[in-house]
Chain A
Amino acid sequence: MAEQRTLADPDVDGDKPDAVVVRDALGVGGAVGLSGFAFGVTSAGSGLTLVQTCVLSLLVFTGASQFALVGALAAGGSPFTAAAGAFFLGVRNAFYGLRLSEVLRLTRAVRPFAAQWVIDETTAVALAQPTRRSARIGFAVTGLSLYVLWNLTTLLGALGAEAIGDTDAWGLDAAGPAVFLALLAPMVKSATERAAAGLAVVLGLGLLPVLPAGVPVLVAALAAPVVLWARGRHVRGSVR
């Protein structure tokens, strides 16, 4: 969600007071953590139980994947296509982990626990810090505050949705796509990204009436390799 900056040389660009790092991290954790409310409402509105909704936030803890999963299940997708879409959205976290392991230098014993917090926001905060110490503080504070708030607001959202009944009447079915749009916006900068997004929209909407629920999204994901391949051909062609 937030823009990523590259890590400056840890030895040079020195002192950033711990309090400032903590304040920045709490700002991100707080703002994004509160949107667990939208997830709780969306999930409960999609027909998942309170327990299922809370298990997703506790154990999956990567927002886009969670929204994608409940959206696909609500649309009548099979558990496998729904999980596949959520999984593909989570793949980017592997690449965050790759950068973070370089920056944080965690011990082997800590990594399985830190892994659950490897998401867009913790990565953005950690990589924006000038030193290893501040990166570790930023990662831990963002991770903890976001995890606690996200799960708390998920619970409240799910309880709220059950209490008010028809969530559509309150416009809450628009929360899911709005979250996706907010996640997508900072990622779409170059012509390649716009082309992939455009092709994915055409495939996703065009195939919706003809393929089983959940499958059109997976086919639309092919827009990524297709656009990369087309661009590769174009670049090679213009070099010759």
Chain B
Amino acid sequence: MSTWIAIGLTVVGCYAVKLVGLLVPEGALERPLVRRLAALLPVALLAALTAQQTFGDGQALVLDARAAGVAAAALALVLRAPFLLVVAAAVVVTAGVRAMGG
């Protein structure tokens, strides 16, 4: 049930912000500080999420095969690989390290 609550809130919230952008009069969200915060907020969130889903296991911090996989994804990004290849590199390397008992 609580999963459906989370889904419902996310559906409504994410649609509302999309619609607000199209509906508000020009200039209402144009304050430089608001714009800069909106650009920087995803950076902070994505960085924290990447780190947690790489090194987190419940409440514990762990170093496992995922770290190798995400490192491979980072390398693919540096080499300007397409999006799908970046994700595939992470999955394949993680599976590979686990298969070798890592």
Q: Real complex partners, A and B? A: yes
Shortest B22–chain A CB gap in Å is 4
Which 4 pairs between the two chains have the least Cβ-Cβ distance?
Answer: A97-B21, A171-B95, A204-B48, A171-B94
CB distance from A170 to the nearest CB of B (A): 5
Write out the residue numbers on chain B whose beta carbons fall within 8 Å of the beta carbon of A87: 9-10, 13-14, 17
> Which of chain B's residues 57-102 have a Cβ closer than 8 Å to chain A?
58-61, 65-66, 69-70, 73-74, 77, 82-84, 86-87, 89-98
Contacting residues, chain A, for B70 (C-beta < 8 A): 174, 177-178, 181
Interface residues of A in 55-109 (CB under 8 A from B): 55-56, 59-62, 64-69, 71-73, 75-76, 78-80, 82-83, 85-98, 100-102, 106
**Count the B residues whose beta carbon is within 8 Å of the partner chain — how many?**
72
A selection of 6 A-B contacts at a CB cut-off of 8 Å is A78-B2, A87-B17, A90-B14, A95-B21, A97-B20, A111-B23
> Given known contacts A216-B48, A217-B48, what 18 new A-B pairs fall within 8 Å (CB)?
A38-B87, A80-B9, A86-B10, A88-B41, A91-B38, A93-B14, A93-B18, A94-B20, A95-B35, A118-B18, A171-B92, A177-B69, A196-B44, A199-B44, A205-B55, A208-B59, A224-B41, A224-B44
Using A87-B13, A204-B49 as known contacts, say yes or no to A56 and B29 having CB atoms under 8 A apart: no
Interface residue tally for chain A (C-beta within 8 Å): 99
Q: Are A170 and B91 closer than 8 Å at their CB atoms?
A: yes
Q: Which residue of B lies closest to A98 (CB)?
A: B21
B interface residues (Cβ-Cβ under 8 A, vs A)? 2-7, 9-11, 13-15, 17-24, 26, 29-30, 33, 35-56, 58-61, 65-66, 69-70, 73-74, 77, 82-84, 86-87, 89-98
